[in-house]
């Protein structure tokens, strides 16, 4: 992986990255659906109680969502007895290509720029990777499941080889999940695949030196969920320190860790091997991670995918002018970078060059992100509890 490039050097570059993140933060189908929702062309839920067959993180879990006049709320329990329950709606497959087409169009424009850091070969590789997971039927998880099986078949032999090398091989084992994170950041695998793999491989490492068990005890399960969820929260907090590319990269990484926390919780719940009190706590922690993703990650990449900077600012200004609360509160759902928030109170929308000038001027005061260092140090996906067990297993 290379350090983050200056995405706003060319607008098509920023929109290409944004559309890739929007497609791969969950998986391409859901990215395409969310684009239609963002533009007001489709809504999956009706007013009242809705039943959603999520199929997230390898689990076909059912959740209920209540939609009131002010928005939706995900709940763990079933709705009141006798309450009407609506089924989640799915869009016409013929309408789903909008976001995918934007990504392809931006890729063609970026290729024409002949940039050293983003050449036509990488653009083609990312397009091919996204397309391999793209599907029309939300119930068809064949591409995702095939990727899971292939990587899991390779994971145990890889871990055993690293283990047999001894020190410093112990650190190589601990860093094996970093490879999965890099695959996700490079758009080789979508978030739901990477999150499921990450949770399983962390469990395998906790089972050193056998590396064969896909589930953890309650201590390691809680530690993993808390570690991944805390990482996601902290990344969302610190993203304001970075330029636009770093801001959205940290948001994208936070999405993986929140999804992985949810995946670990879902596997523990479905295995039903833990005590009732432990299980209740773990389910609640997984639900909190789900909410963190839904409110602070999922919608973040849509506006920079669908619009150029001027169009994105106009959308935010229109949104900020309606309803109650401060402009910042009303656009928080879209998680715009701070540079856009400073322009919300502008009486008239500046033209495209002026918008870019304002944002680039703000960029000069912000840091650039080196995500390679981050995921190996401060944002390492393996919790210390499991790293300690790994060391103890080697000493034993």
What's the pLDDT at 329? 83
Tokens representing 57 are 């993180």
Query: 127: how many CB neighbours lie within 10 A of its CB?
Result: 18
Q: Confidence band (pLDDT; 50, 70, 90) for 52?
A: confident
Is pLDDT of 180 > 60? yes
Q: What percent of the chain has pLDDT over 90?
A: 51
The stretch 370-387 carries a mean pLDDT of 94
What's the pLDDT at 54? 58
Pair 83, 21: CB distance under 8 Å: no
Per-residue three-class SS string for the chain: CCCCCCHHHCHHHHHHHHHHHHHHCCCHHHHHHHHHHHCCCCCCCCCEEEEEECCHHHCCCEEEEEEECCEEEEECCCCCCCCCEEECCCCCHHHCCHHHHHHHHHHHHHHHHCCCCCCHHHHHHHHHHHHHHCCCCCCCCHHHHHHHHHHHHHHHHHHHHHHHCCCCHHHHHHHHHHHHHHHHHCCCCCHHHHHHHHHHHHHHHHCCCCCCCCCCCHHHHHHHHHHHHHHHHHHHHHHHHECHHHHHHHHHHHHHHHHHHHHHHHHHHHHCCCCHHHHHHHHHHHHHHHHHHHHHCHHHHHHHHHCCHHHHHHHHHHHHCCCCCCHHHHHHHHCCCHHHHCCCCCCCCCCHHHHHHHHHHHHCCCECCCHHHHHHCCCCCCCHHHHHHHHHHHHC
Any idea where the domains of the chain sit in the sequence? 140-395
Reported as a single tens digit per residue, the pLDDT across 64-95 is 888 888 766 666 667 888 999 999 888 888 88
Give the integer Cα–Cα distance in Å for 158 and 152: 10
Reported as a single tens digit per residue, the pLDDT across 342-368 is 888 766 677 878 888 888 888 888 888
Q: What φ, ψ does residue 232 adopt, rounded to 5°?
A: -60, -45
Q: Which residues of 318-327 are buried (b: 16+ CB within 10 A; e: fewer)?
A: ebbeeeeeee
Residue count of the chain, please give it.
396
What's the pLDDT at 58? 38
Reported as a single tens digit per residue, the pLDDT across 233-274 is 999 999 999 989 999 999 999 999 999 999 999 888 777 666
Compare 138 and 346 and report the one with higher pLDDT. 346
Q: How remote is the C-alpha of 149 from its chain's centroid? A: 21
Is pLDDT of 333 > 70? yes
Is pLDDT of 292 > 60? yes
Query: 386: how many CB neighbours lie within 10 A of its CB?
Result: 22
Mean residue pLDDT of the chain comes to: 87
Q: Is 168 exposed, middle or buried (0-12, 13-18, 19+ CB in 10 A)?
A: exposed
Q: How remote is the C-alpha of 66 from its chain's centroid? A: 24
What's the pLDDT at 184? 97
Q: What φ, ψ does residue 63 adopt, rounded to 5°?
A: -130, 155
């Amino acid at each position: 992986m290379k350090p983050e490039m200056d995405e706003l050097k060319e607008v098509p570059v920023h929109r290409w990255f944004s559309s890739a993140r929007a497609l791969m933060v969950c998986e391409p189908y859901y990215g395409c659906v969310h684009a239609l929702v963002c533009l007001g062309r489709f809504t999956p839920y009706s007013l009242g109680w809705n039943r959603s067959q999520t199929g997230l993180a390898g689990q076909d879990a059912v959740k209920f969502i209540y939609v009131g006049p002010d928005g939706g709320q995900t709940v763990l329990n079933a709705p009141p007895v006798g309450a009407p329950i609506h089924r989640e709606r799915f869009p016409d497959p013929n309408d789903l290509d909008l976001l995918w087409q934007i990504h392809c169009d931006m890729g063609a424009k970026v290729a024409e720029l002949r940039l050293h850091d983003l050449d036509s070969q990488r653009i083609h590789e990312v397009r091919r990777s996204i397309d391999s997971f793209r599907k029309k039927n939300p119930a068809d998880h064949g591409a995702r499941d095939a990727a899971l099986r292939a990587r899991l078949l390779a994971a145990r032999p890889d871990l055993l080889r690293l283990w047999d090398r001894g020190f410093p091989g112990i650190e190589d084992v601990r860093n094996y999940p970093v490879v999965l994170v890099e695959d996700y950041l490079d758009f080789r695998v979508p978030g739901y695949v990477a999150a499921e793999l990450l949770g399983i491989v962390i469990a395998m490492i906790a089972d050193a030196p056998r590396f064969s068990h896909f589930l953890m005890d309650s201590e390691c399960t809680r530690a993993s969920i808390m570690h991944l969820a805390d990482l996601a929260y902290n990344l969302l907090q610190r993203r304001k320190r970075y330029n636009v590319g770093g801001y959205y990269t940290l948001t994208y990484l936070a999405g993986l860790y929140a999804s992985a926390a949810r995946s670990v919780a879902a596997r523990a719940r479905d295995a039903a091997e833990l005590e009732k009190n432990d299980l209740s706590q773990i389910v609640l922690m997984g639900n909190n991670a789900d909410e963190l993703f839904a409110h602070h990650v999922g919608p973040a990449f849509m506006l920079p995918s669908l619009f150029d900077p001027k169009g994105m600012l106009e959308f935010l200004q229109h949104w900020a002018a309606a309803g109650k609360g401060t402009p910042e509160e009303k656009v928080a759902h879209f998680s715009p970078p701070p540079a856009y928030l400073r322009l919300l109170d502008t009486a008239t929308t500046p033209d495209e060059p002026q918008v870019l000038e304002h944002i680039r001027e703000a960029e000069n005061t912000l840091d650039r992100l080196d995500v390679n260092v981050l995921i190996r140090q401060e944002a390492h996906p393996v919790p210390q509890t499991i790293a300690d067990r790994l060391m103890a297993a080697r000493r034993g």
